[in-house]
């Protein structure tokens, strides 16, 4: 009873020729991805870059070989089993169901492949996330629109990023204002800079040089020009030899001891309020204050009171701390914070304000009538 048997599919010479061509192209693709000099196109500045490039080579090689096989067979079968002239329009092709052997293999092979990929990826990822002992901890901080850096036992914020060759580094990234992203292509590493959150990257520099830092999260007008605190555009990380690094570190430590550019250092005493820039103040207000303060009447509360007319409201001649509503007294609240019956107004350091920011904010608040 031949009708009940599975249809026999003959794999003819054409099939094997097509297969041989695809295998040859696949092997060529694998060889290409194994030998292509990635580090010649883009340097590998840290140990993790070498690992990530190795993973990339593996994925690209297997991915390209698979792609050639899949597309090749799709094309081959489309041509081979095309409708021939003279075949009726409603002809039905050979029906094949349930080939256990084939299904077993197309389950086993991709499963093994995915497990190998996962193993390889998780090993590299955990190396990036979890610190070995004795690392140098460096902080990178994003602001609109530049980066600054903090080093152990260095006062304040440093404008350039230097790292010593061969020393394991823990990089902690965060932000003062909006979400930025910290990407060093030569390290193949990237972390989002999120206010209130510290993301870490672990790596060991392996190649001295000067490498670009790029912001890859749209962060406002000058996103494309995020520079370092020295106004270098773009920002760079310098990988120094250990002796160059020690010299830089000692020099920076000395300079920073007196230079008080610890940007959020709380000021004490009265600020000179003349020359405030209300427009600059409005921009700071939008990022640092508007989560808690509406620009509406005093009673329109978010967390703190509405600030419309804070300096010019006959029905509220006093500030929340009982002082008269004068620019100087508003500046005092911005410097010291205030905890009253409404809640906690953060102080200057907590809000991350420079003295100049406060002067500009007061000028801005004075325009809200
Ligand atoms: C986490 C929430 C929060 C943030 C952020 C915040 N404030 Fe406040 N602010 C408050 C609270 C709460 C009060 C009221 C404190 C009280 O009286 O209990 C207050 C009070 C004030 C007052 C006094 C208002 C009055 O009528 O006397 C001013 C002025 C003020 N904030 C300005 C600012 C500015 C400018 C910023 C941005 C740099 C800012 N605040 C950021 C919560 C906040
Ligand atoms: Cu940015």
Percent of the chain whose pLDDT exceeds 70: 93
Torsions phi, psi for 339 (to 5 deg)? -115, 115
Number of compact structural domains in the chain: 3
Which DSSP state fits 207? S
Choosing from 292, 299, 357 the residue with most ligand 1 atoms within 8 A of its CB, the one to mutate for a pocket test is: 292
In a domain, 1, yes or no: no
Cβ(358) – ligand 1 distance below 6 Å: no
In a domain, 6, yes or no: no
Distance 338 CA to ligand 1 centre (A): 8
Cβ(303) – ligand 1 distance below 6 Å: yes
In a domain, 116, yes or no: yes
CB neighbourhood size of 139 (10 A): 17
The answer to whether residues 182 and 245 belong to one domain is yes
In a domain, 4, yes or no: no
Ligand 1 atom nearest residue 364's Cα:
35
The answer to whether residues 114 and 150 belong to one domain is no
* pLDDT exceeds cutoff 70 at 34: yes
d(CA 211, CA 324): 53
d(CA 366, CA 345): 19
* pLDDT exceeds cutoff 90 at 272: no
Task: Tell me the residue range of the domain where 143 lies.
Answer: 136-258
Indicate whether this model's pTM tops 0.75: no
Nearest protein Cα to ligand 1, atom 1: 292
Closest of 322, 369, 330, 319 to residue 353, by C-alpha: 330
* pLDDT exceeds cutoff 70 at 76: yes
Each residue's pLDDT tens digit, 218-266? 998 888 888 877 666 778 999 999 999 999 999 998 888 765 544 444 4
Cβ(334) – ligand 1 distance below 6 Å: yes
Helix then strand then coil, in percent of the chain rounded to 5, is: 40, 20, 40
The answer to whether residues 249 and 161 belong to one domain is yes
Choosing from 280, 304, 341 the residue with most ligand 1 atoms within 8 A of its CB, the one to mutate for a pocket test is: 304
Each residue's pLDDT tens digit, 274-299? 889 999 999 999 888 888 899 999 98
In a domain, 88, yes or no: no
The answer to whether residues 232 and 321 belong to one domain is no
Assign 267 a pLDDT band (cuts: 50, 70, 90): low
Indicate which CATH number applies to the domain containing 328: 1.10.760.10
- Residues around ion ligand 2, judged by CB within 5 A, are 180, 215, 219, 226
The answer to whether residues 121 and 194 belong to one domain is no
The answer to whether residues 242 and 187 belong to one domain is yes
Indicate which CATH number applies to the domain containing 246: 2.60.40.420
In a domain, 272, yes or no: no
The answer to whether residues 190 and 287 belong to one domain is no
Distance 225 CA to ligand 2 centre (A): 8
């Amino acid at each position: 009873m031949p009708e009940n048997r599975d249809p026999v599919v003959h794999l003819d010479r054409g099939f094997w020729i097509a297969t041989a061509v695809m295998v040859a192209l696949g092997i060529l693709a694998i060889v290409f991805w194994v030998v292509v000099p990635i580090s010649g196109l883009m340097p590998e500045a840290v140990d993790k870059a070498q690992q990530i490039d190795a993973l990339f080579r593996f994925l690209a090689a297997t991915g390209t070989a698979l792609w050639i096989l899949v597309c090749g067979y799709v094309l081959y079968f489309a041509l081979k089993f095309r409708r021939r002239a003279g075949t009726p329009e409603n002809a039905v092709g050979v029906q094949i169901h349930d080939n256990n052997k084939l299904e077993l293999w197309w389950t086993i092979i991709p499963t093994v492949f995915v497990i190998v990929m996962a193993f390889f990826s998780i090993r590299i990822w955990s190396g990036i996330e979890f610190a070995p002992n004795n690392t140098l901890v460096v902080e990178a901080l994003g602001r609109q629109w530049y980066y600054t850096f903090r080093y152990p036992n260095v006062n304040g914020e440093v404008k350039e990023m230097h790292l010593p060759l061969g020393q394991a580094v823990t990089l902690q990234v965060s932000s003062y204002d909006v979400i930025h992203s910290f990407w060093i292509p030569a390290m193949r590493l990237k972390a989002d800079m999120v206010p209130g959150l510290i993301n870490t990257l672990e790596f060991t520099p392996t190649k001295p040089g000067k490498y670009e830092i790029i912001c890859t999260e749209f962060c406002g007008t000058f996103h494309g020009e995020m520079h370092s605190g020295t106004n270098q555009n773009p920002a760079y990380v310098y990988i120094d030899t250990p002796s160059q690094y020690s010299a830089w570190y000692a020099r920076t430590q000395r300079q920073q001891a007196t230079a008080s550019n610890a940007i959020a250092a709380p000021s004490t005493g009265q600020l000179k309020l003349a020359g405030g820039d209300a427009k600059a103040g409005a921009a700071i207000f939008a990022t640092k204050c508007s989560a808690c303060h509406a620009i509406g009447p005093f009673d329109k509360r978010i967390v703190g009171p509405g600030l419309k007319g804070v300096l010019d409201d006959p029905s509220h001649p006093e500030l929340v701390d009982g002082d008269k509503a004068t620019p100087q007294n508003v500046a005092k609240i911005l410097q010291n914070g205030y905890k009253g019956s409404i809640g906690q107004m953060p102080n200057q350091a907590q809000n991350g304000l420079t003295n100049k920011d406060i002067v500009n904010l007061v000028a801005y608040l004075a325009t809200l009538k």
